[in-house]
Amino acid sequence: MNKRLGKQTVCFKKAVGIKSYFSIVGKNEDEGPLKGSFDMVETDALFGQDCWEKAESKLLKTAMESVIAKAGLKEKDIDYIFAGDLINQCFSSHFSVRDLDIPFFGIYGACSTMAESLSLAAMAIAGGFAHHTLAATSSHFCSSEKQFRLPLEYGGQRTPTAQRTVTGSGAVILSDDPSLPIQITHITTGKVKDFGVTDPNNMGAAMAPAAAETIRAHFEDTGFSPDDYDLIVTGDLGSVGKSLLLELLSENGLDIKKVYNDCGCMIYSQEEQDVHSGGSGCGCSASVLCGKLLGEMEKGSLSNILFVATGALLSTNSCFQGESIPSVAHAVKISLK
Amino acid sequence: MNKRLGKQTVCFKKAVGIKSYFSIVGKNEDEGPLKGSFDMVETDALFGQDCWEKAESKLLKTAMESVIAKAGLKEKDIDYIFAGDLINQCFSSHFSVRDLDIPFFGIYGACSTMAESLSLAAMAIAGGFAHHTLAATSSHFCSSEKQFRLPLEYGGQRTPTAQRTVTGSGAVILSDDPSLPIQITHITTGKVKDFGVTDPNNMGAAMAPAAAETIRAHFEDTGFSPDDYDLIVTGDLGSVGKSLLLELLSENGLDIKKVYNDCGCMIYSQEEQDVHSGGSGCGCSASVLCGKLLGEMEKGSLSNILFVATGALLSTNSCFQGESIPSVAHAVKISLK
């Protein structure tokens, strides 16, 4: 039987295998420190489409079709897709799956979506409901700017705490094949918490307490410590949220500094790429996981990672209404067999 | 082991019990044919709040807190919440759960949300990941009109095929207690399909083919026939979509007429309440299920129902861009023990 540990964590009786993974990013993302880590780079920001939403949809669809092909599978082999994105009513996800003949669960977790989709897709396998599931998400700088911020043409200035939405997508196929070397063994599911931060240009500060809370719960529920990991990686707090997280955890007597990084800090060079506090968007942690991190695990240079994707659950309306920003973080433990 | 039947259906090895259910609606919904079926009626459309989004959030939060209390449980007893709504970035759900200390999975399935949340919440129990899960959703006429259509004050005329968004919410607590009399035994998960309908004022037509496809798959996967059900209920095709569904199924040699109804047709009196094609919104099928239908099951007057919630996965942007409407339908079989 799968085992519930503490209040927020599940340990899978049989670890869930990662059969394949695929990442695709835009031009800027491949000019940063992770250059060369991604499966595909598309320099046309419109991806051959006529608007940003359809561009993002094409980006996500490409990731999904490619990860199925990379696994040597066909559409009919995939039992469920779990996917979502940032665009109102998850436009990108729905328009990307309408031509795929696969049962679909739509999710919304803002930038925590990659960890949420991996968690649910892993539960579907570990619960005996599926042989293969697909977890995916995407974001696009231009569709996000258009929806959440200002028209691109306006050239608005941004605060130093703001993050740049990554144009990218990541997709993973999970499997019940016990021989696969990279495996999901635990998931820790976050609670939605609101810590009173009201500045939509400082989402790192809004999300850091949610990440701290989920990491704390993961260690409390499992008995693991930071020493059990080569890497604990949040996605995506940016540099402001990253420092805050370390501070919040140290107040709780937890020091993860030696093994900690953040996808929003990894994907861009903050000195050279004018991205302010770093990367953000569902596609940030998704493309870093499916580009860099799972690649390093396959090479054997990483053995145990805790992937903690964080979501700021605001909307333009909630900001205009002066509301603070609820946030959430979900953690997934990925280990070499 | 849980058993996968065909391509889209799961049969739970141990049926998942419904421990409690709660419905809450606005004034108009309690003036229709289902008057008196709901747990709570709130005549203040603002629910004591200062804007429509917060009103909907309060509505959903009331349903969640009430269903936990009705089950005789506390927050700490609930292992996961699965919830979503129609408002951009699921505003209503996130602001309703930020004070609840419960792990949260956010979902987006438009008006299919109640069946999607029930499916995932049942999988979490049947997979051995949880003892109690909460599935919920909501919609509000005013927050939906504001977001998707026209300012209320404008008094715009609507086409005869348009539906009225229900102000309402439904919430269910599922449990691994095998003694509970009302049980979820099967789920059939829909694929996202786009049948080329482009009129956002005729969502019944856009969703009917998705409902037909999921009902057909349910019978094909399970070997059940319409005779195995007292009621097959879609939510919410309205009267236009309802006729279309029957036509589409009969083209496939399936006649469900004798046991078929639609939540959008049940909740309002189309003759007396000026609702055009009927009710819609996530809260429509949720409040009809948690008000009328589970009540009838508890009384023993319904024994086997197939609850098929349908979602039109459009956004205002996709409509303005001339896109057709992808849609989805998920089915949940609920039976008396």
- The per-residue pLDDT for range A82-124, each reduced to its tens digit, is 999 999 999 999 999 999 999 999 999 999 999 999 999 999 9
Mean pLDDT of B279-299: 98
**B192 vs A104: CB contact, 8 Å cut-off?**
yes
Residue in chain A closest to B13 (alpha carbons) equals A128
Amino acid identity for residue A41 in this structure: V
Residues 91-120 of A with CB under 8 A from B: 91, 94-95, 97-110, 116, 119-120
Q: Do B104 and A321 lie within an 8 Å CB cutoff?
A: no
Q: How many CB pairs under 8 A join A and B?
A: 175
B74 touches A: beta carbon within 8 Å: no
The three-class DSSP label of residue A298 is helix
Distance from CA of A146 to the nearest CA of B (A): 11
Q: What is the pLDDT of residues B16-35, one digit of tens each?
A: 999 999 999 999 999 999 99
Name the helix (H) or strand (E) containing A79. Answer: none
Query: What's the mean pLDDT in B129-152?
Result: 95
- Which value does ipTM take for this structure? 0.98
Q: What is the mean pLDDT of chain B?
A: 96
Chain A nearest CA to B278, separation (Å): 22
Give chain B as a 3 state SS string.
Answer: CCEEECCCEEEEEEEEEEEEEEEEEECHHHHCCCCCCCCEEECCCCCCCCCHHHHHHHHHHHHHHHHHHHCCCCHHHCCEEEEEECCHHHHHHHHHHCCCCCEEEEECCHHHHHHHHHHHHHHHHHCCCCCEEEEEEEECHHHHHHHHCCCHHHCCCCCCCCCEECCEEEEEEEECCCCCCEEEEEEECCECEECCCCCCCCHHHHHHHHHHHHHHHHHHHHCCCHHHCCEEEEECCHHHHHHHHHHHHHHCCCCCHHHEEEHHHHCCCCCCCCCCCCEECHHHHHHHHHHHHHHHHHHCCCCEEEEEEEEECCCHHHHHCCCCCEEEEEEEEEEEC
pLDDT digits 0-9 by tens, B170-226: 999 999 999 999 999 999 999 999 999 999 999 999 999 999 999 999 999 999 999
- pLDDT band with cut points at 50, 70 and 90 for residue B229: very high
Tell me if A317 and B120 make a contact (CB, 8 A cut-off). no
Between positions 240 and 269 of B, the ones with CB within 8 A of A are none
Contact B107 A104 (CB under 8 A): no
Contact A97 B318 (CB under 8 A): no
Residue from A74, A85, A129 to probe the interface with B (highest B Cβ count within 10 Å) = A129
pLDDT of the residue at B25: 98
Measured in angstroms, the CA of B301 and the nearest CA of chain A are apart by 32
Q: Specify the amino acid at residue A286.
A: A
Q: What is the pLDDT of residues A151-206, one digit of tens each?
A: 888 888 889 999 999 999 999 999 999 999 999 999 999 999 999 999 999 999 99
Whether the CB of A320 is below 8 Å from some CB of chain B: the reply is no
Looking at the DSSP assignment, which residues form a beta bridge with residue B118? none
